[in-house]
């Protein structure tokens, strides 16, 4: 039985990754097409609980050499940089074999970070962001209530690349409908 909290989703490419829940739900939670977090109120998990979960997982999985860790739920990058650094440092303390730390990140959360903050997060191991751009059309972004425009998507992608992080973008083909 798990002594730690796990979120409801992770990207398919993270199927063998260590999962650490740092938030619950999505702070935006207004995209018309997504029902994943609708019944869940967004909350930031207390740092003590997160570090406790990291320690509990290291004890439960002792001897297992995880190469990757995925920070759950909908957008860990919404957390303050100092808070994320504590999580990243605890991960490396309890899982020294980690080579990759990944998370979902909304484009507007990325652009709220400075380039120096993103580089610092990269230096501490956060090296891959999954971002749901959904579309590059402003009219469709408004239609699906994404909460940002195509310029934000472009700026966020450029920031991530300049910080030397890997960026995986999700695009929803047909999200604009036949019109």
Residue 4 lies in a domain: no
Q: Are strands 23-24 and 126-134 parallel, antiparallel or unpaired?
A: unpaired
Contact 104, 130 (CB under 8 A): yes
User: How many domains are contained in the chain?
Assistant: 1
Alpha-helix runs per DSSP H in 16-137: 47-60, 81-94, 107-112, 115-123
Contact 25, 37 (CB under 8 A): yes
Q: What token pair was written down for 14?
A: 């993270």
Contact 9, 72 (CB under 8 A): yes
- Which phi and psi angles does 40 have, rounded to 5°? -120, 130
Tens of each residue's pLDDT in the chain, 179 residues: 468 888 999 999 999 999 999 999 999 998 999 888 999 999 999 999 999 999 999 999 887 889 999 999 999 999 999 999 999 999 999 999 999 999 999 999 999 999 999 999 999 999 999 999 999 999 999 999 999 999 999 999 999 999 999 999 999 999 988 87
Q: For residue 52, with 0-12 CB atoms within 10 Å meaning exposed, 13-18 middle and 19 or more buried, which class applies?
A: middle
CATH number, domain containing residue 159 = 3.20.20.70
Residue 43 lies in a domain: yes
Q: For residue 32, with 0-12 CB atoms within 10 Å meaning exposed, 13-18 middle and 19 or more buried, which class applies?
A: exposed
**Which pTM value belongs to this model?**
0.94
* Alpha carbons 47 and 123: distance in angstroms, whole number: 20
Q: Which domain holds residue 41?
A: 12-171
Residue 47 lies in a domain: yes
Contact 27, 79 (CB under 8 A): no
Residue 178 lies in a domain: no
Residue 25 lies in a domain: yes
């Amino acid at each position: 039985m798990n002594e730690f909290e796990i979120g409801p989703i992770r990207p398919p490419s993270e199927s063998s990754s260590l999962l650490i829940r740092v938030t619950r739900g999505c702070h935006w939670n207004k995209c018309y097409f997504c029902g994943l977090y609708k019944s869940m109120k967004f909350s930031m998990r207390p740092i003590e609980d997160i570090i406790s979960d990291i320690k509990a997982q290291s004890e439960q999985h002792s001897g297992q050499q995880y190469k990757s860790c995925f920070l759950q739920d909908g957008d860990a990058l919404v957390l303050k940089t100092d808070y994320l650094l504590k999580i990243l440092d605890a991960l490396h303390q309890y899982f020294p074999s980690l080579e990759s730390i990944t998370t979902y990140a909304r484009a507007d959360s990325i652009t709220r970070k400075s380039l120096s903050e993103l580089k610092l997060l990269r230096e501490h191991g956060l090296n891959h962001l999954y971002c749901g751009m959904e579309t590059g059309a402003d009219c469709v972004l408004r239609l699906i209530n994404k909460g940002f425009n195509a310029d934000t998507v472009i700026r966020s992608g450029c920031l991530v690349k300049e910080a030397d992080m890997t960026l995986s973008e999700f695009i929803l083909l047909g999200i604009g409908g036949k019109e």
